[in-house]
Amino acid sequence: MVNTQPIGSIALPNTNLTNLRLTKQFALPHGRNLQARFDFFNLFNSNFVTARNLREGTTYLVPSAIILPRILQIGASFKF
| pLDDT of res. 36 | 98
Q: State the pLDDT at residue 21.
A: 97
55 vs 8: CA distance, rounded Å: 13
Cα separation of 23 and 19, whole Å? Answer: 14
Report pLDDT digits (tens) over 40-49: 999 999 888 8
Total number of residues shown for the chain? 80
- pTM, two decimal places: 0.69
- Residues of the chain with pLDDT below 50 are none
Residues 6+ apart with CB under 8 A from 44: 18, 70
Rounded CA gap, 48 and 63, in Å? 10
Please give the DSSP secondary-structure letter assigned to residue 17: -
